[in-house]
Amino acid sequence: MSSLWCSKLSTGAGATKPSYVRFLNASPDKLPVDIYANDKCVAGHVSYGEITDYFSVTPCSYCVSVYPSHSGNWKESGLPPPPLTEACLTVTAGTVMTIAIICTVPKTAILVIPEIYRLYTRMRRPNLAALRYVNLTQDSPALEFSPVDGTRLFRSVCFSEHTRYARLEPGNYLFRIRPAGSTQSGFITSEYTLERGVAYTLYSIGLTDGLPPLDTILVEDGFY
């Protein structure tokens, strides 16, 4: 596992809880990106739809900048290119988050998606799978989410919003994503396998009208 460190003033107190961060490139521009934290490249050539492993993070303030991959060795020239987006954030002790790069140029942005710290110590029904949904489809209306042959799990999830976890029986699933309250067939995902005792986030990315088309990514949460 990679780490992000930050020098802090010693207070004589004991060690704080570590925090964890991972990055997701969900920008419909489909550019591979290099991600910097406090001027250090921490994730290089992150492709569209790719999510990194978790980084162990020292609680601190970080300035996160996102550049097109291989945008030149600007350290030598001394003239850095403008970042696609940048944001400063404070990571507190004992937190977990996914940092998503969203939207298209010139409105590319950074979205912090919180996760549950030490998720697997808090799962009350480990015989089931846990699933939540994040809407990263930039041009979508509020969306609802359900198994194709089951009851609706989440209703009216707007762009950039995430849901709580729902519990599902382990097994293979196709999911339906469509405008909230709609009766149309909507978008049907690929088949996903949910395993017993594992928590997942399903992200919708892409565009409902244009390219890249609407698609989904299923990732396991909490394994750091």
- The CATH number assigned to the domain holding 172 equals 2.60.40.1120
**CATH for 43:** 2.60.40
Same domain, 91 and 154: no
Is the peptide bond prior to 81 cis by the omega test (within 30 degrees of 0)? no
**Res 73: pLDDT:** 55
Write down the pLDDT at residue 10. 42
Q: Kindly give the parts of the chain with pLDDT less than 50.
A: 7-13
- How many domains does the chain fold into? 2
Beta strands in the chain (DSSP E): 3-4, 19-25, 33-37, 40-46, 55-57, 60-68, 85-91, 96-102, 109-115, 129-135, 143-147, 154-157, 166-168, 171-173, 175-179, 187-188, 192-194, 199-205, 215-220
Residues 19 and 37 in one domain: yes
Biggest CA pair distance of the chain = 61
Q: Supply the pLDDT for residue 88.
A: 93
Residue 111: domain span: 1-115
Gap between the Cα atoms of 64 and 111, Å rounded: 11
The pLDDT of residue 7: 47
**Domain end residue (candidates: 97, 115, 133):** 115
21 and 39 in a single domain? The answer is yes
Distance CA(29)–CA(105), nearest Å, equals 7
User: Based on the domain organization, do 127 and 77 belong to the same domain?
Assistant: no
Whether residues 65 and 153 fall in one domain: no
Separation between Cα atoms, residue 34 and residue 68, nearest integer Å: 6
Using DSSP's 3-state secondary structure scheme, residue 77 falls into helix
In this structure, how many other beta carbons lie within 10 angstroms of the beta carbon of residue 7?
7
Last residue of a domain, one of 115, 150, 181: 115
pLDDT at position 11 is 44
Give the number of other Cβ atoms within 10 Å of residue 69's Cβ. 13
102 close to 108: Cβ distance less than 8 angstroms: yes
User: Phi and psi (nearest 5°) for 77?
Assistant: -75, -25
Same domain, 168 and 99: no
Q: What is the predicted pLDDT for the residue at 81?
A: 80
